[in-house]
Structure 1
Amino acid sequence: MAATSRIPSFTAPETQPTMGLRERKKLKTRVAIRQATYRLIQEQGYDATTIEQIAEAAEVSPSTVFRYFATKEDIVLTDEYDPVLEAMLRDRPLDEPPLESVRLMIREALTTVLTAEDEELRQRTRLMAEVPAVRARLTESMSDTGKVLSQVLADRTGGSPDDLRIRVFVAAVLSSVREVTLYWSEHGQEGDLRAMLDRAMDTLESGLRL
C-alpha cells in the first residue's frame, strides 16, 4: 500500500510536561524513526519497508529501532499524546460527569491534531484501515492509553484503576474512538471526524436508538 500524502513530521505536542535532556534525546530518536518509516512507506509501500531500511534512514541501528518499538506496526501507531490526554482530563472539573469530561478531552485533543497534523492523521488512519497488520495491532496499542485514562478516572473517583466499572467505561470509550476512526478512513475520510466522535459518545450515553 503506497501512501499519497506528504511526509508527516510527528513533532511532539507542545503541551507535554517539561522534559530533561535524556527524555528529549529519546523523543528525538523516536520521532526520527517515525519520520523515516513514513517516508519509506510513502516511497515504496508498507510491506516493502523493513526495519533495516528504517534504521538506515533514521541513522540508528536496527537494535535501537527495536528498543523503542517492538514491531513496525508500533512505529505507525505509537504517538506522544498520552501525557497530553492525561493533563487535559485532569484539568476537567471534578464534579463533571466522566463521559462529558472524556468527550471534551477527545474533542480538544482532536482539534489540536487536526490543526497541527491533519495530513499525518490522515496517513496514519489510512494505514490503520488498509494494512491488516496495523489494524490487528491497533487495539493492543491502545492499552497504554487505556491505563492512563483509567488511572485518572480512579483518582477522580477515589477508586482503583482495576475497578471493573472503570475498565468497562474506558474500554467502551476507546473502542468507540477506534471504530469511528476506522469508519472515517474506510469512507474516504469524508465528513467531520469530531462530529462523528460526538455521535459515538451520544450513543454511549443514551444507548442504541435506531
Structure 2
Amino acid sequence: MRLFTEHGYDAVTVADVADAVGVSAMTVYRHFPTKEDLVLIDQPAQLIAEHVAASSATQPLVRRIGNALIAAATASTSGTGDEQAANERFLLDCLRLMVSTPALRARHLDSQYALQRAVVDALGDDSADPDAAFQAQAVASACIAAMHTALTRWVEDDGHTNLPDLIARALTASFGDDAVDARRMG
C-alpha cells in the first residue's frame, strides 16, 4: 500500500511489490491473482452476509442490510489505539486508490455485485417469488449504493468522520429515519 500511495497505482508493478516484501513476483501472484487484488481487499461480504442471515426476518429489508453494512464498517475500523488508527488508515488508503484509479473502480463495481448477491442469498431463498427476489435485489443494491456514497465522503473527509456513523447517515438520508436501529446513529 505504501508503494501505491507514494508512487501511484499505475507506476508500481507487481515486481516492485515483490521486491519490497522480499519475495518473488510468482509468490505475489500465487496469493494475489491480479494487481488489483493487492489493493481491493475483498469487501467483508461473508461478514455482512452472516449479519444479514442472523437478523430477524420480521425487520424491514433495508434495516437488515443497513445494520449489517454498519456492523462490517465497525469491524473494519475498530481496534484499540494504534491498531484502530492503522485499520482506518489502511482502509482509507485502499479507498483513496479505488476512487482515483479507473481500473480499481471497475473492479470495485464487480465486488459490489458480488456483495449484492451474497446479501440477497443471506436473506433466504425467495426464488419461488420473483417479486420478492426483485425487491431483495433492489433494496440490497440501494443500500450498497448508500454505503458507497458514505465511503466516498469518508475519503473526501480524509477519514475524519466516523465511518459507521457516515454509513448510517447515508442510509437514513436514502430511506428515512427507520432505516437503521436508533442505537446505531452516532
Which runs of no fewer than 5 residues in structure 1 stay unpaired? 1-37
Task: Tell me which moved more, 78-87 or 116-125.
Answer: 78-87
Q: Is the 8 A contact 2:5 2:93 kept in 1?
A: no
**1:73 Cα deviation from its structure 2 partner:** 2.4
User: Structure 2-normalised TM-score?
Assistant: 0.74
- Corresponding letter in the other structure for 2:90: E
Counterpart for residue 6 of structure 1: none
Counterpart for residue 141 of structure 2: 171
- Corresponding letter in the other structure for 1:187: D
Looking at structure 2, the residues matched to 119 and 188 of structure 1 have their Cα atoms a distance apart, in angstroms, of 9
Looking at structure 2, the residues matched to 141 and 151 of structure 1 have their Cα atoms a distance apart, in angstroms, of 15
Q: Does 1:72 align with 2:39?
A: no
Counterpart for residue 126 of structure 2: 159
1:81 to 44, 49, 55: 44
Which runs of no fewer than 5 residues in structure 2 stay unpaired? 80-86, 178-186
Counterpart for residue 181 of structure 1: 151
User: What CA deviation, in whole Å up to 9, does each residue of 1:81-116 have, x standing for no partner?
Assistant: 222222222111221222111222122221121113
**1:183 Cα deviation from its structure 2 partner:** 2.1
- Corresponding letter in the other structure for 1:105: A
Q: Is the 8 A contact 2:43 2:115 kept in 1?
A: no
User: Structure 1-normalised TM-score?
Assistant: 0.67
Report 1 or 2 for greater relative contact order, CA contacts < 8 Å, sequence distance ≥ 6.
Answer: 2
1:144 to 114, 118, 122: 114
Counterpart for residue 123 of structure 1: 93
Seen in structure 2, the aligned counterparts of structure 1 residues 40 and 170 have a Cα distance that, compared at 3 Å, is same
User: What CA deviation, in whole Å up to 9, does each residue of 1:57-79 have, x standing for no partner?
Assistant: 362444861x6545322331132
Counterpart for residue 91 of structure 1: 54
1:111 to 74, 84, 96: 74
Counterpart for residue 23 of structure 2: 59
**1:48 Cα deviation from its structure 2 partner:** 1.5
SS of structure 2 residue aligned to 1:96: coil
Looking at structure 1, the residues matched to 23 and 120 of structure 2 have their Cα atoms a distance apart, in angstroms, of 37
Counterpart for residue 49 of structure 1: 12
Query: Which stretches of structure 1, 4 residues or longer, exceed 4 Å deviation after superposition?
Result: 67-70
Q: Is the 8 A contact 1:86 1:152 kept in 2?
A: yes
Identical columns (%): 23
Looking at structure 2, the residues matched to 191 and 64 of structure 1 have their Cα atoms a distance apart, in angstroms, of 34
Counterpart for residue 9 of structure 1: none
